[in-house]
Amino acid sequence: MGLDTDIAALPGGEQLAAFVRAVQGGGFVDEAGAALTSTLSQSGEAAGAVQAAVARLEQSFTGAPATAFADLMAEFGQQSRVFQQSGTALAGSLASVGPAFGQLRLAVETIATNLLFQVGQVHIARAGVTAGMDADITALVSQATAAAEASVMQFELVLGQANGTITAELPAFGRTFSSLPVVGDSTGFDVGLHIQAPMAPLAEMHVPEQMAGSPPVELTTRTPLQDPNMPPIRVDVPSQPPPSQPPPAGAGSSSGVDGWIDQATRILVANGVPAAQLDHQVLATIIAHESNGDPGAVNNWDSNAAAGTPSIGLMQTIGPTFQAYALPGHTDIYNPVDNIIAGTRYALARYGSLDNVPGILSVRSGQAYVGY
């Protein structure tokens, strides 16, 4: 027999038994929160990749179609930020419900277990004398039910607050990307070029010779069936693609991520950080997920970027955080070694150890990485 069945068999025990049955399970709340967090992480990575690709395209894409495309992608970036902000609020609400439900389950099951013990004591004390026993047990059941009901009411307060947040955020969360205009209907991106035959083979296109460092060259071509009155397609080809960010100081002499981590940990140990707190593999995992090992990585889409302080560098620190945790002589946020130093000191100060960084805990539990 289960706990709820034992309680239901007592005089007046059905309501408490219903509470016991109601608090069974509940893991779906944590599962939903984890799934949403994973979705937000993947969405953020995808939005960042899109924005980076758009930035590269805008270096050579000009004219009215380019303007319309830029406007569309700017709206995409804004909706990405709304999606992240609303989704983070929703995930936070679910995160508050999970522990509260766990506390409720523990409280109700403890109350029910204690009640059965008290009923057993009544049976022992009466030594088989049943007169008045039901009345004593009914009183104990009533007290236990009232205590369980009080715990349920506390949980309902947490649930009500979470429901308020979900009710407020869910509409915005659901209509973010669906609110983007359809290309060609309202963005002006459709400029009337309707190609009915394949483009001329690349070998037939004439590419003028170009000296290094000279201004961009205009390449022009037409499709075989293009309206002869339509101006040719214009593509600017830069003489040399500009770097995505200023080259980090000292990066050229490094041996990559492993080398940067080794340099940074030596400096941290020399400045008083115990070597036992510096796990090379953990730092490599954080860097791989935060920046893919790119010292010039800049996050231009999340709430930090919207506030004017984008996350930068190997460990994706924002400017104020980097400045607060940088060591003297290591104050270049684009320098991979300096970035690791500041990011590591921040993680140790906030989480107590690198093993407690949320993304590391998530990966080790088989979940998707989450930013720190």
pLDDT one-digit tens code per residue, 301-359: 877 788 888 999 999 999 999 998 999 999 999 999 999 999 999 999 888 899 999 89
Q: Is the pLDDT of residue 231 over 80?
A: no
- Secondary structure element (H or E) that encloses residue 69, with its range: helix 64-126
Same domain, 32 and 136: yes
Residue 242 has pLDDT above 50, yes or no: no
In a domain, 370, yes or no: no
Can you give the pLDDT at residue 197? 34
pLDDT above 70 covers a percentage of the chain that reads: 73
Contacts 24+ apart (CB under 8 A), 114-122: 114/144, 115/7, 115/10, 115/16, 115/140, 115/141, 115/144, 116/3, 116/6, 116/7, 119/10
- Tell whether 150 and 10 lie within a shared domain: yes
Please check the confidence at residue 240 and state whether its pLDDT lies above 70: no
On whether both 47 and 153 belong to a single domain, the answer is yes
What is the DSSP code string of 123-162? HHHHTT--TTHHHHHHHHHHHHHHHHHHHHHHHHHHHHHH
Residue 369 lies in a domain: no
* 170/263 same-domain check: no
Q: Strand locations in the chain, DSSP E?
A: 217-221, 233-237, 298-299, 311-312
Whether residue 276 is found in the same domain as residue 158: no
Q: Are residues 52 and 146 in the same domain?
A: yes
- The yes-or-no verdict on residue 252 having pLDDT over 90 is no
Helix (H) or strand (E) holding 68: helix 64-126
pLDDT reported for residue 334: 94
Q: What is the mean pLDDT of residues 191-217?
A: 38
187 located within any domain: no
Last residue of a domain, one of 179, 213, 237: 179
In a domain, 233, yes or no: no
CB 299, CB 310: distance < 8 Å: yes
**179, 194, 209: which is the final residue of a domain?**
179
Task: Check residue 176 and give its pLDDT.
Answer: 62
Q: Is residue 194 part of a domain?
A: no
Q: What is the pLDDT of residue 33?
A: 66
Instruction: Specify whether 22 is located in the same domain as 122.
Output: yes
| 33 vs 257, more confident | 257
| pLDDT score, position 86 | 75
Q: What is the mean pLDDT of the chain?
A: 76
Per-residue pLDDT band for 22 (boundaries 50, 70, 90) equals confident
Has residue 82 got a pLDDT over 80?
Answer: no
Residue type, 314: L
Tell me what pLDDT residue 232 has: 46
Q: Record the pTM.
A: 0.37
**Does residue 213 sit within a domain?**
no
Which of 144, 179, 214 finishes a domain? 179
Q: Is 243 inside any structural domain? A: no
- Give yes or no for residue 1 having a pLDDT over 90: no
- Compare 92 and 298 and report the one with higher pLDDT: 298
Q: In angstroms, rounded to a whole number, what is the distance separating the alpha carbons of residues 366 and 173?
A: 26
Mean pLDDT of 140-144: 94
Same domain, residue pair 174 and 257: no
Do residues 16 and 64 touch, judged by C-beta distance below 8 A? Answer: no
Among candidate residues 252, 244, 245, 250, the one with its CA nearest the CA of residue 267: 250
DSSP code for 245: S
Report d(CA 7, CA 24) in Å as an integer.
Answer: 15
104-118, 168-182, 213-227, 256-270: least confidently modelled range: 213-227
Query: Is position 77 within any domain?
Result: yes
Reduced to 3 states, what is the DSSP secondary structure of residue 317? strand
Same domain, 21 and 156: yes
Q: How many separate domains does the chain show?
A: 2
Rounded CA-CA distance 44/278 in Å is 28
Higher per-residue confidence, 13 vs 253:
13
**pLDDT band at residue 257 under the 50/70/90 scheme:** very high
Distance from chain centroid for Cα 11: 51
In the numeric block, the tokens 């995409």 are attached to: 76
Give the separation between CA 142 and CA 176, rounded to whole angstroms.
Answer: 50
Residue 217's pLDDT is 39
Residues 174 and 256 placed together within one structural domain of the fold: no
Give me the CATH number covering residue 109: 1.20.1260
For range 37-54, the mean pLDDT: 76
Based on the fold, state whether residues 165 and 294 are members of the same structural domain: no
Kindly state the average pLDDT of the residues 138-143: 94
pLDDT recorded at residue 172: 62
Domain that holds residue 143: 3-179
Domain match, 168 and 285 both = no
Give the angle 25-26-28 at the CA atoms, nearest 5°: 115
Is residue 246's pLDDT more than 70?
A: no
* Tokens 């004390």, residue located: 125
For 156-201, write each residue's pLDDT tens digit.
888 887 777 777 776 666 656 665 665 544 444 443 333 333 333 4
